[in-house]
Chains A and B, each alone.
Chain A
Amino acid sequence: MDLLKIENLNKKYYNKIALKNINLSLEQGKIYGLLGPNGSGKTTLMKVIAGLHNQTSGNVILNHQALSYKTKADISYMPTENFLYESFKVKDAVKFYTDMYSDFQEANAYKILKEINVDTEFKISKLSSGLVGKLKIALALSRNVDLYMLDEPLNGVDVLSRDVIMDLITRSYSETKTFIISTHLVSEIEKILDSVIFLKDGNVELSGDAEELRLSRELSIEGIYKEVFKNA
């Protein structure tokens, strides 16, 4: 079943074209990798789906409904920046999420934070970037929604924390949840992806099932990525 359908989507910032005629269908219960170098349009696409930017033209349909304040409630979007208030303690951030989102599973968030050794009494401004990365993921994944969009979850995070983050993603997977994960760290993440979408200059250059692509091209997803973006 299609969870998300994008039709002829265009996005311009003044006269700069950010997304060019994008057409995509995303199925329920799959993990999608949104891959491309910096400036290829990954964040813009996520922000349009999240309803934070308006498209210039085209349709985005989630659960058979055009984007609206209603569909927004079905999406957990994790931006790449540290958007949490620096003066907050970790437990304040959890409280903030509990107050903001009726679907937020507070107990689950505390359980994850305990597992990954994030002290809830700590101030966010005092956390290392690896811990901030893990905290953001724990919060985003503790919502109970149809679509999770994680923008560069591995950026600025050490190798061990990356493993923890990927582990949290695979463990929170269920057949009714769909994930879009943007990254340019392809080799680290490719084994958890079902499908990949390569974005180049705001265009979908290539998309498909990760295993089929490995089979037909006899290359890793990273190898295909390097071919696609060689001249980018």
Chain B
Amino acid sequence: MEFNNNIPIYIQVMEKIKQDIVMGKLAAGDKVPSSRDFSNELGINFNTVARVYKEMEMEEILFTKRGLGTFITEEPERINNLRYEMAKKQIETFIKGMQQIGYSKEEMIKLIELEDNYREGIE
């Protein structure tokens, strides 16, 4: 994993784990590596990974079973929420970019439909 040093590393690791969950690379109930193994694997500080796990436990995306390790939530609702949050972020970025180049909401919707039809056409 490549890091952008301008952004706190724990935030980047959290984003990566969330992405892997939404994309299905990590499944509900999967065990995540120990802080120690994960920090060695990523080549980052142990305490950074410990912080990632702590924050994600507070967000109820991860949970710890005493003596067994840390696991990904088994509640589908949490995972759906994650997916929705990511979609929202994508749309925010999209809308901001379109507004900058002068598109109105109606024009954006029209253009999305047009593009979508076109794509279906080539498929």
- Contact between chains at B47 and A29 (CB < 8 Å): yes
Contacts of A178-232 to chain B: CB distance below 8 A: 187, 190-194, 211, 214-215, 218-223
* B112 interface residue (CB < 8 Å to A): no
* B45 interface residue (CB < 8 Å to A): yes
Question: CB-CB < 8 A to B9: which residues of A?
Answer: 191, 211, 214
- Contact between chains at B5 and A192 (CB < 8 Å): no
Interchain CA distance A167-B39 in the complex, whole Å: 10
Interchain CA distance A173-B44 in the complex, whole Å: 11
Chain B: minimal CB distance from A210 (Å): 8
- Contact between chains at B6 and A223 (CB < 8 Å): yes
Interchain CA distance A193-B5 in the complex, whole Å: 12
* B80 interface residue (CB < 8 Å to A): no
Question: CB-CB < 8 A to A171: which residues of B?
Answer: 40
Interchain CA distance A29-B9 in the complex, whole Å: 18
* A82 interface residue (CB < 8 Å to B): no
- Contact between chains at B3 and A191 (CB < 8 Å): yes
- Contacts A166-B43, A170-B39 hold; do A211 and B8 have CB atoms under 8 A apart? yes
Interchain CA distance A113-B47 in the complex, whole Å: 27
Question: CB-CB < 8 A to B51: which residues of A?
Answer: 211
Q: Which of B8, B44, B47, B48 contacts A215 (CB 8 A)?
A: B8
Bitwise interface map of A from 16 to 50 toward B, beta carbon under 8 Å scored 1, else 0? 00000000000001110000000000000000000
Task: Report the nearest B residue to A222, measured CB to CB.
Answer: B5
Question: CB-CB < 8 A to A187: which residues of B?
Answer: 5
Interchain CA distance A144-B51 in the complex, whole Å: 26
Task: Report the nearest B residue to A213, measured CB to CB.
Answer: B8
* B7 interface residue (CB < 8 Å to A): yes
Interchain CA distance A194-B47 in the complex, whole Å: 7
- Contact between chains at A192 and B43 (CB < 8 Å): yes
- Contact between chains at A191 and B10 (CB < 8 Å): no
Task: Report the nearest B residue to A193, measured CB to CB.
Answer: B45
Interchain CA distance A166-B3 in the complex, whole Å: 15
- Contacts A170-B40, A187-B5 hold; do A192 and B47 have CB atoms under 8 A apart? no
Interchain CA distance A218-B40 in the complex, whole Å: 26
B→A interface (CB under 8 Å): 3, 5-10, 39-40, 43-48, 51
Identify 6 new A-B residue pairs, CB closer than 8 A, beyond the known A193-B45, A214-B5, A220-B5.
A175-B46, A191-B5, A194-B48, A214-B7, A215-B8, A223-B5
Question: Considering the complex of A and B, which 8 residue pairs feature the smallest CB-CB distances, nearest first?
Answer: A220-B5, A211-B8, A214-B8, A220-B6, A191-B44, A215-B8, A173-B46, A192-B45
Q: Can you list 17 A-B pairs, Cβ within 8 angstroms, ordered by A?
A: A167-B40, A170-B43, A170-B45, A173-B45, A173-B46, A175-B46, A190-B5, A191-B5, A191-B9, A192-B43, A194-B45, A214-B7, A214-B9, A215-B8, A219-B6, A220-B6, A223-B5
